[in-house]
Amino acid sequence: MASNQFSAVAWRPVVEWANFSAGDQVAGEVAGEVAGEVTGEVTDQVTDQVTDQVTDQVTGEIMRLLGVMKSEMARIEIQTALGLKHLPHFRDTYLRPALEGGFIAQRTFTRNTMAQKFKDYYGDACADMLAERIGAVLPGFSRERFMETLVGQLEDKALSARLDLFAQALRNSLPGAYTQHITALHPLLGPELQTETGMFTQGWWLSPIACYVEKRATEDFTASLAFIRELTKRHTGEFAVRPLLAAFPAETMAVMRDWSLDENVHIRRLSSEGMRIRLPWAKKLTVALERFDDFKTILGNLKDDPSKFVQKSVGNNLNDLYKEAPEKAEEIIKEWERGGTLSTSAKWIVKHGRRNQPAVG
């Protein structure tokens, strides 16, 4: 089962392979470490011994590998440079022996240690690791078609274009009908987040999957909502759910009313965040105005939520509503106030929702 601690791996040469053969330079470096302060005949003996040992370890495959590794590279970049298509052969014959022999080193990195620009997280290394994870849970997945769509095509693209290309690669490579393979992909998601945070630090790698579901969600209402519900426990489903709200507003809002009462904080937040009128990076959605009673019920269910994560979303919903229909925002707040003294959570939500409104008095 996939872990939500998704990471990409880069490989770097430990030694330079240019202009030497059969391990002489490696032997010299290792011998220097082993010999230490030993001098004279003993040093020569140690050097000869280490040279023999290192030379035995250096295969032609390792020499070829080091020959193409000029700097830190992703696995797919090395494999492509070598002209190798069969991943198990590459790993068993090239990568593993070189790693075990100490000729290369790996660096595992998560979002926090990767490139600073968010778009750069979704490059060839991400494609490689995502393909490996999908292949592990979904027989029939075409890794070759997936990688052909992506490798070398991402670098000059903005974030949204990169995710769109990932979604196209998934469409090209996932087997069978959407309903079947989206259901089969549930094990890919891995363990749920254990805290309110982590959707973009631990779950960032799921953005391509979320984008794919967003583009095809309306093909199967039930299967899509079931997947989005699980997705948001590891990443976020706030974008993927919006096409369903637009296409099936009554049915989707009914589900989101139930979600607003869920024990999982991420699902409760999704019930609010997904229906925001002006969700950042998303197309404007007016289901909150068209299904106002449902919208009001969902926010009412969440107004006393103890989670600041949820409170911020509810407050942002009110803030969006003030920009579109301020009288409706006031209607919601007045109704809450008529119900008695507002809780600490509700007071914070109201303040957050009114943050851009002129001060009264």
Mean pLDDT by 10 residues, the chain (361 residues): 45 55 39 40 42 51 79 73 81 82 67 64 92 95 96 93 98 97 96 91 94 98 98 97 98 98 98 97 96 98 97 98 97 97 98 90 47
Q: How far apart are CA 126 and CA 147, in angstroms?
A: 11
Instruction: Decide if 155 contacts 74 (C-beta within 8 A).
Output: no
pLDDT recorded at residue 32 = 41
pLDDT recorded at residue 55 = 44
pLDDT recorded at residue 71 = 67
Boundary of a domain, candidates 89, 113, 137: 113
pLDDT recorded at residue 274 = 98
Q: Would you say residue 130 lies in a domain?
A: no
Q: How far apart are CA 191 and CA 23, in angstroms?
A: 45
Domain that holds residue 348: 241-361
CATH of the domain at 351: 1.25.40.290
Strand order in the sheet with 104-109: 73-74, 8-13, 104-109
Q: Would you say residue 128 lies in a domain?
A: no
Helices (H) and strands (E) in the chain, counts: 20, 3
Q: How far apart are CA 198 and CA 4, in angstroms?
A: 9
pLDDT recorded at residue 44 = 44
Q: Would you say residue 302 lies in a domain?
A: yes
Beta bridge partners of residue 106, listed in sequence order: 11
* Residue 101 DSSP code: T
Q: Would you say residue 216 lies in a domain?
A: no
Boundary of a domain, candidates 88, 113, 138: 113
pLDDT recorded at residue 75 = 74
Q: How far apart are CA 288 and CA 291, in angstroms?
A: 5
Q: Would you say residue 59 lies in a domain?
A: yes
Q: Would you say residue 294 lies in a domain?
A: yes
Q: Would you say residue 81 lies in a domain?
A: yes
Number of domains in the chain: 2
Which structure tokens are listed for 303? 């107004």
Q: Would you say residue 176 lies in a domain?
A: no
- Whether this prediction's pTM lies above 0.75 is answered by no
Boundary of a domain, candidates 82, 113, 144: 113
